[in-house]
Structure 1
């Protein structure tokens, strides 16, 4: 008699009339459940805390990189290379991490390793005195961050199948809050110690939590899947899946809009509205604050409302807010617009990832995360370049209107081409 796991894996394939693929997928379904030590919502709390630690490393770029540049006499090109090394390695590491997230039995060890790499990156930077060494440890931290997401999201997807969007929303909120808290906390720390000591202190959370998660975060899992069957399922259910393709495109367009806005909203506030650095920072902090708290609520809503409607509506609303910004003077209305952007456009990422996970078998959760993050990182850097060309030619308000085209295309694609899949 077939096991329940095998039957669950075979059903979607049988409906499509492909017996061979159903047998293949039955072999590789490695459904994983919570260990007793992470019963209930403890797993979500642990992964969200780990996600905060992963994003705290971003504070190194915002606060410490200028100090390293000045202290070691680096050129601006070298400083840019350090930031690029982190981003490049994060994107490069996401693909093998997605593979391991779907094939490995002990994902807690891999997630703990990623956190440890982030801690070692900070520790190595604190001791570095030359550009090549800085480059190595910045890349190490970036690889840890890029490898973290497929592991963590695949673990949560298996643990909270009925509340995926909510769980991924809480996970995303923790990262966004870390983006706000990290630079502030690190800046405060720098007021009392030098940058090398600050980096040594900053390494502690990653190293400690990495060891704890590796030791205590084990999942109950079945046997590891076979690679041949995994490759077949990856090709059939991810790369040839039109629903997945549409979601990757929607996610990339959303990321392009977010990346461009992150660069050009501060420029608009400072150069066009002539606001002080403090006032401009207050507006951006408001945006990031709502980006931090909104994903959990948006995920909860999407678990009840449905993915397609929510993503399309929130994308269209984001377009309206972005287009309205150039017509608003500094004050309460502009502040409301910035808060709305955080709650609308920024909060969509976990919902899109949830929809993509529901379109593939559970055993491919890590791979779909890797594909989405890889596509986002590999393409979204183009958006600020294009917006910059528009800004030079027509001004910053026109650049903001141009940026609204990205969520608009995402909304149209979601409305016309996305067909919801039955959750796997």
Structure 2
């Protein structure tokens, strides 16, 4: 079986260790976010928040994610401390989730979500640049493993948080769910710290020069002038609007419209993430062979249709099946988009390219929580999903117009 995996992916089994370790760390960052989304409906009830106010809390998270992009890419590209940056991200997020357990007002809750938002976008430039440099010929596969970790975090966290909510308050559930993240940070420190030290020795022996700040500013200017990269970021921004809106409003739809309890709610969200687990590695491997554009285009088009379909479903069992299909199409394209961005970016600027990509996603996603909250308060939660489907359709149109790679532009 191992030989078959090596043949399909093009990566030796023993060489895949760093990818799976990074995936575990990525899963921990999503574990934190998924915990927040699962407990949010209970926070809303306990604190007496409207949908708009609950959405505003998540907007704080996205705003802090956006601010983290200003410096995170520069830190990664100039210092090269990719592993240290990833570990720091996990520790900050785990501490913030622990302190959510002390939140009795929206203000303290908002402060902790600022730190969690910083965690999310501090992680990605370091992790994606690390994987892109380690697996330059197999980026689609390596980044699909990275996304696989996210899906596992998104899958297991709702089950854990939902079970804890059956026994504890939302404060206790959040604090207890933070404990595994500290353990993951320790594992990455021990296992990947050695990898980074070897890389630093190699750079020292080869007399390779670290990027200067002037070099960095020059490269950054090139990224902002790159129409292909900007187009890709805008497409990813509209897709992210839909994804983050679904993560926020699907739990509210299930609880308030379908009257799901905490355990069934956790099972439904888990089904959605299981779909992503199945689709991610397949999409990533296919994109290495068939190209990024066709895989992304198919995933976005299917997602647009399924988001609309959610509002027309009658029955818990059918809804859970559709959520699994939605997760497959929605999450499978994430690593392909990230690989597409890395394909377009010089190696020395990959951290900043990830910051630009995720910064755009955070900027677009800031609109969704408050805008969706206003729609939900005025017309009901189901109407939010029509707006999310529209955002995904726009992303599909952008993808159709983007070239697959720079050679396509030259050929045309």
TM-score (norm 1): 0.76
Q: Deviations over 1:37-74 (max 9, x none)?
A: x961111111111112112222542455677789xx86
Q: For residues 199-278 of structure 1, what are the structure 2 equivalents within 5 Å?
A: 201-217=176-192, 218-219=195-196, 220-221=199-200, 222=203, 223-236=209-222, 238-263=223-248, 265=250, 275-278=258-261
Residues 136, 264 of structure 1: CA spacing in aligned structure 2 closer, same or farther, 3 A cutoff? Answer: closer
What's the offset of the Cα at 1:138?
3.9
From 152, 156, 164, the counterpart of 1:181:
156
1:310 aligns with 2:295: yes
What's the offset of the Cα at 1:105?
2.7
What's the offset of the Cα at 1:189?
3.9
Q: For residues 322-401 of structure 1, what are the structure 2 equivalents within 5 Å?
A: 322-325=307-310, 329-330=314-315, 335-383=320-368, 400-401=385-386
Structure 2: tracts of 5 or more residues without a match: 1-12, 204-208
- Decide which moves more: 378-387 or 96-105: 378-387
Q: Is the 8 A contact 2:341 2:353 kept in 1?
A: yes
Residues 281, 55 of structure 1: CA spacing in aligned structure 2 closer, same or farther, 3 A cutoff? Answer: closer
Structure 1: tracts of 5 or more residues without a match: 1-37
Q: For residues 88-107 of structure 1, what are the structure 2 equivalents within 5 Å?
A: 88-107=63-82
Residues 303, 189 of structure 1: CA spacing in aligned structure 2 closer, same or farther, 3 A cutoff? Answer: same
Residue of structure 1 equivalent to 2:126: 151
What's the offset of the Cα at 1:269?
6.2
Structure 1 CA distance for aligned equivalents of residues 252 and 108 of structure 2? 33
Relative contact order (C-alpha < 8 Å, sep 6+): which is higher? Answer: 2
What's the offset of the Cα at 1:334?
5.3
What's the offset of the Cα at 1:313?
2.2
Q: Is the 8 A contact 2:237 2:363 kept in 1?
A: no
What's the offset of the Cα at 1:295?
1.3
1:172 aligns with 2:155: no
- Decide which moves more: 336-345 or 347-356: 336-345
Q: Is the 8 A contact 1:253 1:410 kept in 2?
A: yes
Q: Is the 8 A contact 1:113 1:214 kept in 2?
A: no
- Aligned Cα RMSD in Å? 3.7
Q: Deviations over 1:344-390 (max 9, x none)?
A: 12321211111011101111111111111111111123246656777
Structure 1 CA distance for aligned equivalents of residues 351 and 62 of structure 2? 20
Structure 2 CA distance for aligned equivalents of residues 264 and 288 of structure 1? 15
Q: Is the 8 A contact 1:94 1:147 kept in 2?
A: yes
1:42 aligns with 2:35: no
Structure 2 CA distance for aligned equivalents of residues 261 and 128 of structure 1? 25
Residue of structure 2 equivalent to 1:405: 390
Residues 277, 44 of structure 1: CA spacing in aligned structure 2 closer, same or farther, 3 A cutoff? Answer: same
1:360 aligned counterpart, secondary structure: coil
Residue of structure 1 equivalent to 2:206: none
Residues 395, 106 of structure 1: CA spacing in aligned structure 2 closer, same or farther, 3 A cutoff? Answer: closer
Structure 1 CA distance for aligned equivalents of residues 95 and 249 of structure 2? 33
Q: Is the 8 A contact 1:61 1:83 kept in 2?
A: no
Residue of structure 2 equivalent to 1:4: none
Q: Across the two proteins, how many residue pairs are aligned to each other?
A: 381
Residues 343, 401 of structure 1: CA spacing in aligned structure 2 closer, same or farther, 3 A cutoff? Answer: same
Q: For residues 11-90 of structure 1, what are the structure 2 equivalents within 5 Å?
A: 40-62=15-37, 76=49, 83-90=58-65
Structure 1 CA distance for aligned equivalents of residues 382 and 161 of structure 2? 33
Residues 255, 197 of structure 1: CA spacing in aligned structure 2 closer, same or farther, 3 A cutoff? Answer: closer
Q: Is the 8 A contact 2:60 2:114 kept in 1?
A: yes
- Decide which moves more: 99-108 or 200-209: 200-209
Structure 1 CA distance for aligned equivalents of residues 383 and 179 of structure 2? 45
What's the offset of the Cα at 1:332?
6.9
Q: Is the 8 A contact 1:98 1:366 kept in 2?
A: yes
Q: Is the 8 A contact 1:110 1:214 kept in 2?
A: no
